[in-house]
Amino acid sequence: MTEKRVSPPSAVPDIDLGHFFGWLVDHKWLIISFMLLFGIGGYLYAGSQPRIYSADSLVQVESANGSLINLPGMSGHVSVEKNRTLTEIGILQSRMVLGEAVDRENLTIRVIPKRLPLFGNFLVNRGVSVPSLMRDRPYVWANEFADVSRFEVPDGADPGLYTLRSSGDGGYALLQGERVLLTGQAGQTVHSDEGYRLFVQRLEAHAGAEFLLYRSTRLSAINALQSSLSSHQAQGEWLVNLRLIGQDRARIESTLNTIMQVFLAQNIERQSAEADRQLEFLEEQIPQVGDSLSASETNLNNYRAQHDSVDLDFQTETMLNQLVMYENQLSDIEFQRVELERRFTSSHPTYQALMTKRQQLQVNKAELERRIMDLPETQQEILSLERAARVNQEIYIQLLNKQQEMRLVQAGTIGNVRILDTAVVQPWPIYPRSDRIMLVSLLLGLIAAIAIVMIRYLLNRGIELPMQLEEHGLPVYATVPLSADQIKHSGGGKAGRHRRKRAGLRDLLALRSPADLSIEALRSLRTSLHFAMLESGDNRLLITSSSSGAGKSFISANLAAVCAEAGQKVLVIDGDMRKGQIHHAFQGGSEEGLAELLSGKLTLEVAIRSTGVQGLDYIARGTSPTKPSELLMQASLSQLLADVSSRYELVIIDTPPVLAVTDAAIIGKQVGTSLLVARFGVTPPGEIEATVKKLENSGIFLKGAVLNAMRRKMSTKYSYYTYAYK
């Protein structure tokens, strides 16, 4: 037995990013497979989605002044013009405009082709026409369509889906469930006595193809159109960019053009309505002013006839002209006031400025009237009559001019909206974005694969580096690479622990392939053990593991063969009387072995069997006893080990796993050197720690460890231990 060493730490080593990156590289095919799987899924998903296209146009909103009166420098009018574009956008998206477009384009009628489940849209998007094997099926394929312009149902009819079934050559039948409602031919209006009316403009589909026909409410169609239509100001304040999306390229182009035509028509109508209101105001005022003009002229003529044509002197004529000017300006301001009251409140700055101007004119007029009061009575009277006649005449002429102007405006109204670009459908669909979907799918595949590798990394955490064993106080005497030749002959493969348990020794790799890297590693172990066992009190070597499947029997048998080839006289004892496999390595049977020898049923000379290797003998496990542990605790084991130690230079004992049974601890009490075999990537650090503690509690201290079945991986590329000879 060796000296007691300090117990290893129990903490699991932290994750090494470099080691984990190597782990990812080792699982590159898993990652690539997941990315390909997700990429194919993304490709199929993108191909199965309906193609969404976009139609766009450009509209100009011009600055317009539809008022009867034009006031230079009207404050606040500029801000109104700046908000005109936003107002027009709101009108454009209103139910008034979109409802008219819905009616013109028959958007309340929806025709949905019935597709092949799962991959129908994918095949149609790839332009696949109806296969010959599917001609009797109701599915619609590429280049098949139905254009329904009119569909009316009677009041109280079931609002559910209807089916339009093609009968070939443009013929069709309208069904609800299995009941035939109408039959007809494309291009003809058909109706039934029940009140159904249908006009299919065009129908291109094979016989039996079915389309789902649905009539929505007008409000639902308007809401759907609103959600598909977007508008925003373009480069300038007065430019509006319109965009409509949908699956049918021809329909969205036609619908967007219709929306613009409706919007333009209602804009002209609004401008014309403004001129109509102003004409109506003028037509009310002109007769009244005409009557006032006639009355004032009659009064003037009568006065002159009575006073023998009294004329005005120069001073009175000047005052009259000024007074008439003031009257005309006040009359014009009154018209402006009426117009502004329709647009603004009395507190608006524009309205207040107009009232200030009127007040100033009234002050000037009052001052002039006081001067007129100083004139002779005859001059005052003739001036008053002349003033009334001239003022009424000026106002009358002004109103007639405005009336003619408004009539010209009414006749030539074009609105303040101009269509710069008609609707054009972009050649490529805006959805689905296949490139983005593929990229996202590949990224999701990469993330999923990394997540799976991460979970396996965290859950497995098998020993992969010799330093992990050294952290538990176990010097690594050898790292034995995984032998492809041994895998092939043992049937273990690279499967998990379950497959390795079913596999077993069938011969000696040291004899079959002496140049194998695994055998070279065992030769290195032989050299290390030669010096390590010099410190022990005997020539006995115990080889065990924490759990089954680590490959301790492989190490025991082939190490014995390597040592025998070096000229040593070696004996291998199969100490696992339950499931020992040493006899398989030497092509022998398990009976008449250790179990019979310890129970006294067999002599040592009979139990020892020779092998094909000179200097190498073995003792099989024997017939499995009822209580192996109790059998090992008898004095016969000590006597056996003493006898064989005197006959052989090296005695190797293959024991059962430490954590499974106590056999290894019982045998280890009588063995000077003990080695633990750990399997690369399989044996967890926790099992190593538990094994070391269990043996130390029994007074057995492991000399070191062997890392078996090591594979060259990126995660272990930079290990201090290597097994390649270059």
Q: Within a 13 Å sphere around the CA of 242, how many CA atoms are in the beta-carbon half?
A: 32
User: Which phi-psi region, left, alpha or beta, contains residue 170 (left: φ > 0; alpha: ψ -120 to 50)?
Assistant: left
Report helix, strand and coil shares of the chain as percent, to nearest 5: 50, 15, 35
Which has more confidence, 590 or 20? Answer: 590
Q: Within a 13 Å sphere around the CA of 319, how many CA atoms are in the beta-carbon half?
A: 22
Show the tokens assigned to 205.
């589909």
368-381 tens-digit pLDDT:
777 777 666 666 67
pLDDT band at 276 (very low <50, low <70, confident <90, very high): low
Spell out the long-range contacts of 518-524 with Cβ–Cβ below 8 A and sequence spacing 24 or more: 518/480, 518/481, 518/482, 518/483, 518/486, 518/558, 519/558, 519/562, 520/723, 520/725, 521/478, 521/479, 521/480, 521/481, 521/723, 522/478, 522/480, 522/555, 522/558, 522/559, 522/562, 523/562, 524/478
Q: What is the mean pLDDT of residues 663-678?
A: 94
Kindly tell me if the per-residue pLDDT of 39 is higher than 50.
yes
User: Whole-angstrom Cα distance, residue 559 to residue 543?
Assistant: 10
pLDDT of residue 102: 93
Q: How far is CA 210 from CA 24, 203, 259, 389, in A?
A: 51, 11, 31, 83
pLDDT of residue 646: 94
197-253 tens-digit pLDDT:
999 999 999 999 999 998 888 999 999 999 999 988 776 667 888 999 999 999 999
452-491 tens-digit pLDDT:
988 887 776 788 888 889 988 999 999 999 888 777 766 5
Reported residue count of the chain is 726
Tokens 């503690």 belong to residue: 693
Kindly tell me if the per-residue pLDDT of 720 is higher than 70.
no
Mean pLDDT for the chain overall:
82
Show the tokens assigned to 657.
């796993």
pLDDT of residue 350: 83
Nearest of 661, 673, 660 to residue 542 by alpha carbon:
673
Nearest of 680, 520, 490, 656 to residue 585 by alpha carbon:
490
pLDDT band at 412 (very low <50, low <70, confident <90, very high): low
pLDDT of residue 408: 64
288-329 tens-digit pLDDT:
777 776 777 677 677 666 665 556 666 667 776 777 787 778
User: Whole-angstrom Cα distance, residue 460 to residue 685?
Assistant: 10
Q: How far is CA 354 from CA 67, 77, 339, 565, 706, in A?
A: 15, 14, 11, 124, 106
User: Whole-angstrom Cα distance, residue 724 to residue 355?
Assistant: 105
Strand partners, 130: none
Kindly tell me if the per-residue pLDDT of 670 is higher than 50.
yes
Determine contact, residues 78/354, Cβ cutoff 8 Å.
Answer: no
pLDDT of residue 79: 45
In 78-209, where do the E strands start and end?
109-113, 145-152, 162-168, 171-176, 179-185, 189-191, 197-204
pLDDT of residue 16: 64
Element at 232 (helix H, strand E): strand 229-233
Tokens 């009659």 belong to residue: 298
Q: Which residues are within 8 A (CB) of 551 and not within 5 positions of it... i.e. 6 or more apart?
A: 480, 545, 677, 679, 708, 709
75-127 tens-digit pLDDT:
444 444 456 677 788 888 899 999 999 999 999 999 999 999 888 888 888 88
Nearest of 435, 413, 402, 324 to residue 46 by alpha carbon:
435
pLDDT band at 11 (very low <50, low <70, confident <90, very high): very low
Query: In terms of pTM, does the model score above 0.85?
Result: no
Q: Residues of CATH 3.40.50.300 domain(s) within the chain?
A: 472-714
CA 357, chain centre distance (Å):
66
Q: How far is CA 287 from CA 324, 395, 397, in A?
A: 21, 12, 12
Q: Hey, which CATH number is domain 472-714, 3.40.50.300, 3.30.1490.120, 3.40.190.10, 1.10.3720.10?
A: 3.40.50.300
Show the tokens assigned to 663.
């056999």
Nearest of 337, 334, 331 to residue 387 by alpha carbon:
331
Cα torsion 403, 408, 413, 418 to 10°: value is -130
pLDDT of residue 213: 92
Show the tokens assigned to 102.
């819905």
pLDDT of residue 380: 66
